[in-house]
Chains A and B, each alone.
Chain A
Amino acid sequence: MEEIYSGLLRALDLIAARDPQVVEITLRAIFISLSSAFLAGIICIPLGGIIEFRQFWGKRALINLIQTFYSLPTVTVGLLVFLLISHSGPLGGLNLLFSPTGMIFGQAILVSPIMIGLTITALAGVSTPIRDTAKSLGATEMQIIITVIKEARVAVMAAVLLGFGRALSEVGVAMMIGGNIRGYTRVLTTAIALETSMGNLELSMALGIILIFISLAINLLLNRFQGRKEWRS
């Protein structure tokens, strides 16, 4: 217990002193996760809109499948992306393996189901009269989708934030695609795993505390968005 307590104090010291290694890993983790959430967002939000608005055979089954993928094991996605971007894979020529770009690509795939699914739920929550009003005022199908996305922007933003949170806290893709290379692809989760296995508990705890604080900040932001939405409605 004493070891944990003293480790915690040293971890807080590292954070307070803005230890260069801690700062560097934290900024990289935030950059990679934000980029993957952004990339997934620009693909998944319109895709969620198309799935919600179009009627097609198997739509219910597709939504069920997307929802099943919410809890897709990160190592499974890591393996899939590894096979895709490894030198013998179909995207091997892009040299994405063991690079931050590869990690962004992998994490974007990982968070896509959650973003598509939550976008569908958010858009389904926008009332039919809004769609009818837009349509009767001469909006095209794409303009109606954009209007509904704007109306559901709070809930859609929450989906993006959740995606960011999942990307930031996952370890499988970051480890398998990034390779945990010091100063290049090492992020919070992979650094915690490595430093713990090496017995460097202070650094692990410092990074763990930062990860918890970022998660807390995301939750506070989400609650703030949700609170504003309830207040508005």
Chain B
Amino acid sequence: MALLEISSLGKSYGKAEVLKGIDLTVERGEILGLIGPTGSGKTTLLRLVNLLDEPSTGSILFEDREVSGRPEREKLSMRRKMAMVFQKPVMFKASVEENVSFGLRMRGRVDAKEMRGQTKEALAAMGLSGYESRDANTLSGGEMQRIALARAWVLQPELLLLDEPTANLDPGSAASIDRLLHSLADSRTAVILATHNMQQCRKLADRVAVLQAGRLVAVGKSEEITLPW
């Protein structure tokens, strides 16, 4: 059973059809590169999977359960098995520690000591040990992006959705995030990595799905894929 099964998925905003007839599966522990030029619908697809928006047509099965059209409570329990990192991460007006532990606090099932330990661990994994008490909004773009990753990673999600996590970073910061993503390959977390960088896909992804103008035009091993642009 695939972790995520998308069938005939479509999304329209008014008359503009942003996604059309998307069929895609993601297995547990797999890293899927979602590649496409700007405006091809990558972010829209990630938002639909993360249940931030409702699809116009088609279905999304997560752990074999249909996600769209569910009551908010059920959506919440499914959303809590995922985490998404946005292209331009925003920090809450709080310390780094409070930012990273945000999702844990929302779940409310972890005691303070355990939470602090998990937060420290996630920050250490992102190379940000000692940043706990700093104001998250005073950090550089690269540091914010790593904190956003730590904030998602600390939740140990079944599915991690990354929307161009290195698009706005300098080569050094981008390389350190790539290394972090590479280390995820051994975990049971599945990752959808939206990017327009084929090199990144070849380096990190088990499979690549190519989006163009809202349509999925190819899916396969990265070495089998030739980009149509």
Contact = CB atoms under 8 A, between A and B. Distances in A.
Interface of A: 127, 129-130, 132-141, 143, 147, 150-151, 153, 232
B80 interface: yes
Contacts of A232: 93, 137
19 contacts: A129-B88, A129-B90, A130-B92, A134-B106, A135-B52, A136-B83, A136-B84, A137-B106, A137-B151, A138-B76, A138-B79, A138-B103, A138-B107, A143-B106, A150-B92, A150-B93, A151-B92, A232-B93, A232-B137
B154 to A, nearest CB: 10
B90 A127 contact: yes
B54 interface: no
Contacts of A137: 83, 102-103, 106, 151-152, 155
Contact of B80 (A127, A138, A147): A138
Contacts of B79: 135-136, 138
Nearest to B138: A232
Interface string B103-144: 100110000000000000000000000000000010000000
B4 to A, nearest CB: 16
A136 B171 CA distance: 27
A132 B92 contact: no
Given A129-B88, A140-B76, A134 B93 contact: no
A133 B72 contact: no
B50 to A, nearest CB: 5
B78 to A, nearest CB: 10
B58 interface: no
B29 interface: no
B79 to A, nearest CB: 6
Nearest to A132: B52
A232 B137 CA distance: 9
Contacts of B76: 138, 140
B86 A133 contact: yes
Name the residue among A130, A132, A133, A139 with the largest chain B CB count within 10 angstroms.
A133
B21 interface: no
A141 B93 contact: no
A140 B50 CA distance: 14
B90 A138 contact: no
B106 A138 contact: yes
Given A133-B89, A135-B52, 11 more contacts: A130-B90, A133-B86, A134-B106, A136-B79, A136-B84, A136-B86, A137-B151, A138-B79, A138-B80, A139-B102, A143-B106
A139 B106 contact: yes
Name the residue among A127, A138, A147, A150 with the largest chain B CB count within 10 angstroms.
A138
Interface in B47-93: 50, 52, 72, 76, 79-80, 82-84, 86, 88-90, 92-93
A129 B148 CA distance: 13
Contacts of A141: 72
Contacts of A147: 92
